[in-house]
Chains A and B, each alone.
Chain A
Amino acid sequence: MSVWRDVIGQDAAIATLRRAVEDPAAMTHAWLFTGPPGSGRSVAARAFAAALQCPQGGCGECRECRTALDGSHADVDVIATEGLSIKVDLARDLVQLAALRPSVGRWRIIVIEDADRLTAYSEAPANALLKALEEPTPRTIWILCAPSLEDVMITIRSRSRHLRLRTPPLEAVAELLHRRDGVDEGMAMYAARAAQSHVGLARRLARDEGARIRRRDITRLPTLIRGVPEAVAAAADLAKLAEEETGAASAERDSAERQRLLEVLGADPAARTQPSHIRSQLAALEKDQKGRATRQARDVLDRSLLDLLSVYRDALVLHTGAPIGLVNQDSAALVQELARAMTPEQLLAAMDAIGTARERIGVNVTPLLALEAMAISLRLPR
């Protein structure tokens, strides 16, 4: 047993972190963990936090380790946002928190899981952290996580020590799913491959039949788009699939949160109109929920587009004859059909179109419109 058990396929990074835990001279007060989505940035950050708090340097068994790993340690604060961005007020609160001495543990550790989202309205939230990052309080450790170095501003980059995580190998992901979540081996391998080593996604695919069906529907699209009307229809389908995935879960959660807020405020949930001070609280909650819904819709859509992209990538792999495995090995016939229908240039153009759509959706272009423009570029040549 060790805290590093679930940090898979990151031997080099783990070695660096272990050395930092063991040797005070190799330690740094501000870290920046980068790695592709699903590579386990936040898992690594928590494991590092646990190892720092643990008297034995990360046994994985003691109270310190367990509480740090599951996020309930008094001196380990994990900040993650489900909204579009982290606001400056929260960043300022963190700076204050960072000035406090640890209460029970050896270090006060602040983990920001979405350092790339320190961007509410401007760079102000990121700027608020600079001073604290540069002149640390003794015994305070910052761990920032972001997909890549380019996602955080240069002034944060220069104040922190960079640790790069790589995409974990398929086998490692499958092994983790098998060991930790009890998924059988064949399914674990399929999920790891289809999710392209994204651990969280692979887990979802392995355990949720609906997610597998949605993925299959998406990977079938490329061979169906022949003309403009089909393209527009396919875009509508994609948007609808994403909406379905977002809608059901969040509606339930939204109403539960509302119920809870009303309870906390001592308001009557059955009242037709609430008094004004309660209305303002409800309005604030709804605003948060709306931000969360936008983020979730975007994330789901982005994932769908990645699934779509994987089909074109596979077709291109077939063309070049490169000795690498296919992402969509289970639907090889479909990939072959696509490879026959399109030249490598056309495949690359299609992949570019998907990339453009992802970029556009990220900056608030109407998703349906971006998808339509993309689908029209994906038409099969006649």
Chain B
Amino acid sequence: MTETVDVPSRVPPLVLITGPESLLAERALASILDELRVTTPDLEVVRLHPATYEPGALAAHTAPSLFGGDKAIVVHDLDEAPEELQQDLLSYLAAPLEPGVTLVVGHKSGQRGKKVLDTLKKSRARILEAPLVKSDRDKSDFATHEFRAARRRVTPEAVAALVDAVGKDLRELAAACQQLVADTTGVIDDKTVERYHGGKVEATGFRVADAALAGDTGEALRLVRHAIATGLDPVPIVAVLAQQLRQLVRVGGAGRGRSADIARELGMAPWQVDRARRALGGWTSDALGRCIQAVAAADFEVKGGGRDPVYAVERVLLTITRERHAG
């Protein structure tokens, strides 16, 4: 026989989960529900989705029930909620809160449902954030945290390799971390990652352009074939090449001066100016001009002017790296 101790739940009756990263939002929701279940193992969870919401359903679920125990009402995607759902939420928040009901509201982004958000914040809801994980550094932090939570040691190289391989989608990254935790023992290093995700690289137009502008023929071709094999269209690759070349020319023509000033003058971000300056080494403006002409010809070819878009992209990459070596 187990003794039950009556511990008051520490979860406030109102919870707001805000942010566009769905994986983090789901985890936040799961942690709230887990916390509630510590005190109420038979917690009833009601999920309301905007697409299927019928006016009044919220009031029906929050109304006190003769037989019911505690309830958690989860409103998903407030940012897509129809007017009725928002009205129902507002009227629920305006009245004294029902005891035994925990309302969890999820909101991805945007202006819709702003009034409900503000009211929730005013009513001292607990706010959990699910910010977008975008930069490579954030992704590395996320992966490191995943391994630490599983009490596993991991080398920084392994994290970098993992982000390179499956960093496109946070969910995929999380799944890869879990797989490594479950399937391996000991310290996770880059060899382990290589064994599981070897040869897989997240290839984007930007990486292709970086490699080409650095004059690395092999790497540029490898990345572009990888990118096309994983479904990237030649058109955006060419567009990125054009954009990067344009930045190099403009920064190169702007002369010396503080990068912040030049950035303001050219309408670019300071880090873009710094990056362009680093990439400018080994380039002459004439060579860049020939590259732009080659890219324009390639743009014509990938948009129906030529027979083989992939060939056009590869050829322009070869032209760019050749120009870089000649300079």
Instruction: Please report A residues at the B interface, Cβ cutoff 8 Å.
Output: 227-233, 360, 363-366, 368-370, 372-373, 376-377, 379
Cross-chain contact of A363 among B290, B295, B297, B303 (Cβ < 8 A): B303
B250 and A229 contact, CB distance less than 8 A: yes
Which residues of chain B are within 8 angstroms of A376 by Cβ–Cβ distance?
289-290, 292-293
A360 contacts which chain B residues (CB < 8 A)? 296, 299-300, 305
Give me 12 A-to-B residue pairs in the complex whose CB atoms sit less than 8 angstroms apart, sorted by A's number. A228-B288, A228-B289, A229-B250, A229-B253, A233-B250, A360-B296, A365-B299, A365-B305, A366-B239, A366-B242, A368-B246, A369-B242
User: Which B residues lie within 8 Å of A372 (CB)?
Assistant: 242, 246, 292, 296
- Residue B249 at the A interface, CB < 8 A? yes
> What are the residues of chain B within 8 A of A364 when measuring CB–CB?
303-304
Tell me which residues across on chain A come within 8 A of B178, comparing CB atoms.
Answer: none
With A363-B304, A365-B299, A366-B299 known to touch, is A373 a contact of B249 (CB < 8 Å)? no
**B27 CB to nearest chain A CB (Å):** 31
Tell me if A's interface is mostly helix, strand, loop or mixed.
helix
B253 touches A233 (CB 8 A): yes
Q: Quick check: B300 and A228 within 8 Å, CB to CB?
A: no
Q: A229-B252, A365-B296 are in contact. List 5 more A-B contacts (CB 8 A).
A: A228-B253, A228-B288, A229-B254, A363-B300, A376-B292
B285 within 8 A of A: yes
Question: A228, B296: Cβ atoms under 8 Å?
Answer: no
**Docked-complex contact A373 and B253, CB < 8 angstroms:** no
Check A369 against B288 for contact (C-beta < 8 Å). no
Knowing A228-B288, A363-B303 touch, does A369 contact B296 (C-beta < 8 A)?
Answer: yes
Complexed CA–CA distance, A228 and B280 (Å):
14
Taking the closest CB of chain B, its distance from the CB of A269, in whole angstroms, is 18
What per-residue 1/0 map shows which CB atoms of B11-46 lie under 8 Å from chain A?
A: 000000000000000000000000000000000000
> How far, in angstroms, from A227 to B254 measured CA to CA in the complex?
13
- Tell me which residues from 272 to 327 in chain B have a Cβ below 8 Å from any Cβ of chain A: 285-286, 288-290, 292-293, 295-297, 299-300, 303-305
Tell me, in angstroms, the Cα distance from A123 to B285 when the chains sit together: 44
Q: Is A373 within 8 A of B250, CB to CB?
A: no
Give B76-116 interface residues, CB cut-off 8 Å to A. none
Docked-complex contact B253 and A230, CB < 8 angstroms = yes
Query: B246, B297, B305: which contacts A232 (Cβ < 8 A)?
Result: B246
> Chain A residues with Cβ under 8 A from B303's Cβ?
363-365
* Contact digits for B227-254, partner A, Cβ 8 Å, 1 yes 0 no: 0000000000001001000100110111
Residue numbers in A under 8 Å from B288 (CB-CB): 228
User: Distance (Å) between the CB of B130 and the closest chain A CB?
Assistant: 25
Q: Which residues of B contact A228 (CB under 8 A)?
A: 249, 253, 285-286, 288-289, 292
Give the complex CA separation of A364 and B302 in angstroms.
Answer: 10
